[in-house]
């Protein structure tokens, strides 16, 4: 039996790295007394399958984890049990049984929605920068993977870019498509900041809002949070 868990990573806990959080999950699952399955072999490991890694320091409303169990369980109440054992800032928002033949999270997710909180930046300034970026036919950005610098075109990765103003800054929401070489949110941030958005990158809060899978050409949330309104398919507006 395989469970899919949706959880948040908000606040201080956002400074915990992906691998460290995986270890926290292993301990939490044992504490919640879920009958987790282990790998065979000399050094058995619990069978946990994580989705796309989230960089240290970024927050998220929508992280996912698949857990293999060695015997069936009633999924009712498991979200609450896990939630009670995870550190503050990790809220388990939904748990669902999934089919073992479903695509693994790493493959299935085709896009993520990211929010950038730019403190002290006005809506007008941000909107102008966004319009400029969206007007470009190509957006070359230099990225480093495993020590190798390459240039990729960011433009096809950007599904949409929206600015929401507030009193003390503004939020830029972007839907970022994955590709052969996926763009990291802070690499997109470089594009936004190269214009007039003079703000210290260390002060920008980056948060994953949703992860999307594609069904019949339509983007849908991997698994909506329980209690949330049914998540409509993503309307893509350019």
Task: Scan residues 118-157 and list those touching other proteins (CB under 8 A).
Answer: none
Which of 77/87 has CB closer to other proteins? 87
- 80 makes contact with other proteins (CB under 8 A): no
Which of 26/132 has CB closer to other proteins? 26
Task: Scan residues 178-237 and list those touching other proteins (CB under 8 A).
Answer: 200, 202-203
Q: For residue 94, report the phi and psi dihedrals to the nearest 5 degrees.
A: -165, 150
- 38 makes contact with other proteins (CB under 8 A): yes
Beta bridge partners, 141, equal 152
Count the neighbouring beta carbons within 10 Å of the beta carbon of residue 237.
9
Minimum CB separation of residue 232 from other proteins in Å reads 34
Give the closest residue to 1 by CA, choosing from 45, 34, 25.
Answer: 34
- Cα(163)–Cα(115) distance, integer angstroms: 10
Minimum CB separation of residue 16 from other proteins in Å reads 5
- Inter-axis angle of helices 78-85 and 18-31, to 10 degrees? 120
Question: Considering only 13-21, 91-99, 100-108, 141-149, which stretch makes contact with other proteins by CB under 8 A?
Answer: 13-21
> CA of 12: how far to CAs of 15, 89, 90, 216, in Å?
6, 7, 10, 38
- Cα(34)–Cα(78) distance, integer angstroms: 9
DSSP states of 69-109 as a string?
BSS----TTHHHHHHHHSPTT--EEEEEEE-TTSPPHHHHE
As a dihedral over the C-alpha atoms of residue 187, residue 114, residue 14, residue 102, rounded to 10 degrees, the angle is -110
- 40 makes contact with other proteins (CB under 8 A): no
Structure tokens given for 42:
């000399």
- 12 makes contact with other proteins (CB under 8 A): yes
Which of 57/140 has CB closer to other proteins? 57
Question: Considering only 29-37, 121-129, 191-199, 212-220, which stretch makes contact with other proteins by CB under 8 A?
Answer: 29-37
- 89 makes contact with other proteins (CB under 8 A): yes
* Contact track, other proteins, 44-63, x by CB under 8 A: x-----------xx------
Minimum CB separation of residue 124 from other proteins in Å reads 25
Among 1, 26, 182, 190, binds other proteins (CB under 8 A): 26
Minimum CB separation of residue 12 from other proteins in Å reads 4
- Cα(123)–Cα(95) distance, integer angstroms: 37
Interaction site with other proteins (CB under 8 A): 12-13, 15-17, 20-21, 23-24, 26-31, 38, 43-44, 56-57, 85, 87-89, 200, 202-203
């Amino acid at each position: 039996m395989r469970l899919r868990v949706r959880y948040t990573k908000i606040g201080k806990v956002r400074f915990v790295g992906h691998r460290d959080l995986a270890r926290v999950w292993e301990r939490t699952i044992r504490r919640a007394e879920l009958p987790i399955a282990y790998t065979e072999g000399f050094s058995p490991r619990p069978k946990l399958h994580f989705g796309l890694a989230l960089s240290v320091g970024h927050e998220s409303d929508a992280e996912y984890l698949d857990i293999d169990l060695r015997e069936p369980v009633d999924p009712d109440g498991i979200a609450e049990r896990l939630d009670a054992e995870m550190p503050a800032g990790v809220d388990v928002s939904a748990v669902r049984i999934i089919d073992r033949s479903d695509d693994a999270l790493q493959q299935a997710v085709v896009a993520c929605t990211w929010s950038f909180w730019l403190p002290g930046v006005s809506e007008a300034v941000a909107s102008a920068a966004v319009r400029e970026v969206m007007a470009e036919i190509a957006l070359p950005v230099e990225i480093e993977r495993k020590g190798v610098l390459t240039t990729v075109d960011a433009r096809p990765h950007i599904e949409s870019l929206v600015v929401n103003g507030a009193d003390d800054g503004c939020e830029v929401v972007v839907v970022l498509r994955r590709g052969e070489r996926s763009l990291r949110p802070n690499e997109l941030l470089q594009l936004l900041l190269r214009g007039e958005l003079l703000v210290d990158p260390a002060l920008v809060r980056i948060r994953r809002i949703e992860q999307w899978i594609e069904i019949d050409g339509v983007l849908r949330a991997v698994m909506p949070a329980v209690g949330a309104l049914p998540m409509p398919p993503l309307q893509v507006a350019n």
